[in-house]
Structure 1
């Protein structure tokens, strides 16, 4: 049994397969999932698990060299925006651009988050 990091077997296995520049999306429960992109759906009720809870767990176990969030988050969800920026410096793109970029993701993790624009695209880095 794993002793540290993410113990969800599907997420742990998927993250182990990521290479440099692969994209990982963590999304709220309303983010559309593009056809053909694998999705691990962690939601079990509205709001659970929270986006920030999953982002923390992923960032503890995943080397992200870059991140993108929707610029609409500034007006629509400043609390989550501030928490994201404390964890990782993210670039701003439009929400439509984020949804388009998610089509190139290697994996989407769906949370139960039900606040606006609680989505992030992480670009895999390298650990050396």
Structure 2
């Protein structure tokens, strides 16, 4: 049994299987998840677990070379945006929410949280950043 890091077996497996440029979505409770995309459903109550806690845990275990956020987060949820940007050490691209939802279909998996604030979704792209010595 693991003592640290992600304890959820499905999420731990997905993180260990992530390859270069694979996308992992950390989503709020309302983001539609297309059929065929693996779902890790962590939400158990409104707000639980919170989006930022899950993002932080994933970032501690996954090398991320880029991220996509919906443009709408900038005006609809600036507090969450500020917190996500503070945790990311990778470039961020903004796309309209409809385009974001289209990109979810090609993700390796979607991790659904209990978050109920608007546009609290991010696609994290795995990479070699920080994995191999320079």
**Short-chain TM bin:** over 0.9
Give the match's secondary structure for 1:91: strand
Moved over 4 A (4+): none
Residues 57-85 of structure 1 deviation map (CA, whole Å, 9 limit, x = unaligned): 00001111000101100110010010011
Q: Structure 2 stretches of 5 or more lacking a match?
A: none
Q: CA RMSD for the aligned pairs?
A: 0.8
TM-score w.r.t. structure 2 length? 0.93
The equivalences for 1:39-118 within 5 A come to 39-88=39-88, 89-118=91-120
Shift of 1:2: 1.4
Residues 105-127 of structure 1 deviation map (CA, whole Å, 9 limit, x = unaligned): 01100000000000000001122
Once residues 14 and 122 of structure 2 are traced to their aligned partners in structure 1, the CA distance between those partners, rounded to angstroms, is 17
Give the match's secondary structure for 1:104: coil
Give the match's secondary structure for 2:105: helix
Once residues 123 and 77 of structure 1 are traced to their aligned partners in structure 2, the CA distance between those partners, rounded to angstroms, is 22
How many residue pairs get aligned? The number is: 128
Give the match's secondary structure for 2:5: coil
Q: Structure 1 stretches of 5 or more lacking a match?
A: none
The equivalences for 1:14-33 within 5 A come to 14-33=14-33
Shift of 1:5: 1.4
Once residues 3 and 60 of structure 1 are traced to their aligned partners in structure 2, the CA distance between those partners, rounded to angstroms, is 14
Give the match's secondary structure for 2:114: coil
